Structure 1
């Protein structure tokens, strides 16, 4: 995952100073991995470090930290003896207060900082080597604690997702997909009045009188979900996407709609193998046609594709 600078910025803008609690190290079993983090403010929180009692006590401690103004704290908890949890390991938590003035110093790809004064004066060689590989070869390191220094890559969503249509299904999709960490969502419809008033802050809303004209500006590795109020607009978007190129394109519709679209796209000059790259229907038909059911099915499909891509990367490494 890494350091979610976007979420930190949003929560600071909404609530003022917040405490970021991150799992810096684990021994034995743990409910979450190193780098899992949550943000805590007076009256609320976002994210999760898991573990029920662990998270509850860490959140309460973070609110006390806000009250005392103690900028940085490191604690280690044994999950069984200390908290009565089934996990047999222990976790080291690092809690730090952030405010708006700190954000400029975090605008980097990797954050490396000492967690306590007991560590070495300079980062250990292994972490410095990983920093060098990240800068020279783009290798993304995993969050890790070494000799009192904690390294975290800054998380940047790397999957562009364009959702075409802000009707019931489009809204359900944004509700389900917006919390996922690796999606950079752009939401398009024909006018600003088509969108709800409470769009998540990190979702880009893009009203356009003729949405199909925007397709030429989309990244060629983007994922697309086409579900507008108009079959004519859906067809125009599919035509434009086939001309542009994409990583994935899904179209909402029945078998009859898709048969009609395949015929019309062929008349527009697209080969059958090109047309077959569009997935229709999207989601899992077995779940039903309720907007939220469609959204859950689509989310599962996108997550499976993401897991497959990561597996391919691991095999190439």
Structure 2
């Protein structure tokens, strides 16, 4: 297959430098932003497959001549290269109730290794994906790898507080979020202070920056968006054109 990689950008572009897709004779994986730019790159990549070429470059202005109005410019590098393994991060979801199960489903296609954790076998039995039945969920936080995300959506406020304090005691986690309200956050802040834990890094309520809708599926969708924004923040840029 042919790897198509964005190696340089100028002005407004649909994807950032480093974005890539892989083009085979009948299948395309990934995207460099869609639109005519992507069609042109796919066509050029398949020409390379037919002709046996190993390398090519494309310098594409995103203007009226190709039917895109971004106004920027993209340099593409094409070579024979298979896709590298996806770089997944770990996420621990505590609580296998409605929100926890919905969140695990939403995260399945994303580059996140999600583990749903609960002490209730009947709730875990309704879940899809990896699960862990344990009476000591806080131990999973202590054993988690640096960069892990922790999402707390249990049925018990006292357990929520215990897990959140355990997570915030570590300074190397990517995200710590807890379901709740402004009142619950205030209560937790007092609890954390009494234990010498700084609650400033806690996201609570989760997903609230997007919507106040309380349906489990909606909370899960917005929490997943919030989590991915946090995980990709180091490389996130604003691209006015996304088509």
* Partner Cα separation in structure 2 for residue 74 and residue 95 of structure 1: 6
**Structure 1 residues 43 and 277, CA gap change in structure 2 (3 angstroms):** same
Equivalence map 1:1-317=2 (5 Å): 18-26=1-9, 29-66=12-49, 68-80=51-63, 82-99=65-82, 161-174=91-104, 185-190=113-118, 193=125, 195-197=127-129, 205=130, 207-210=132-135, 211-219=137-145, 222-228=148-154, 233-242=159-168, 244=170, 247=173, 248-254=175-181, 265=191, 270-271=195-196, 274=198, 278-284=202-208, 286-299=211-224, 301-302=226-227
* TM-score, scaled relative to structure 2: 0.65
Displacement of 1:217 in angstroms is 1.0
Number of residue pairs matched? 229
How far does residue 64 in structure 1 lie from its aligned partner after superposition? 4.7
The CA distance in 1 between the partners of 2:184 and 2:70, in whole Å, is 51
Superposed CA deviations along residues 215-256 of structure 1, whole A, max 9, x for unmatched, are: 111246643211135556535423533555565422113567
Give the Cα–Cα distance (whole angstroms) in 1 for the partners of residues 168 and 64 of structure 2. 59
Following superposition, the deviation at residue 162 of structure 1 comes to 3.1
Q: What SS does the corresponding residue of 1:85 show, helix, strand or coil?
A: coil
The CA deviation at 1:52 is 0.7
Q: 1:231 to 1:43 in 2, by over 3 A?
A: farther
- In structure 2, distance between residues paired with 1:292 and 1:256: 23
1:74/1:228 Cα in 2 relative to 1: closer, same or farther (>3 Å)?
Answer: same
Alignment partner of 1:241: what SS? helix
Q: Distance in 1 between the 2:65 and 2:169 partners?
A: 60
RMSD, matched Cα: 4.3
**Structure 1 residue 166, shift from structure 2 partner:** 4.7
Q: Distance in 2 between matches of 1:98 and 1:45?
A: 13
Is the contact between residue 40 and residue 63 of structure 1 (CA under 8 Å) also seen in structure 2?
yes
Q: 1:93, CA displacement in angstroms?
A: 1.9
Q: Give the unaligned 5+ runs of structure 2.
A: 237-243
Gaps of 5+ in 1: 1-17, 108-154, 198-204, 312-317
The Cα offsets for residues 58-80 of structure 1, whole Å up to 9 and x where unpaired, read as 22443454455433332333433
- 1:83 Cα deviation after fit: 1.6
Q: Which residue of 1 aligns with 2:241?
A: none
Native 8 Å contact 1:167 1:194 kept in 2:
no
**Structure 1 residues 54 and 219: alpha-carbon distance in aligned structure 2, compared to 1, 3 A threshold:** same
Q: Write the distance in 1 (CA, Å) between the matches of 2:231 and 2:165.
A: 25
Structure number with higher relative contact order (C-alpha < 8 Å, ≥ 6 residues apart): 2
Contact residue 162 and residue 187 of structure 1 kept, 8 A: yes
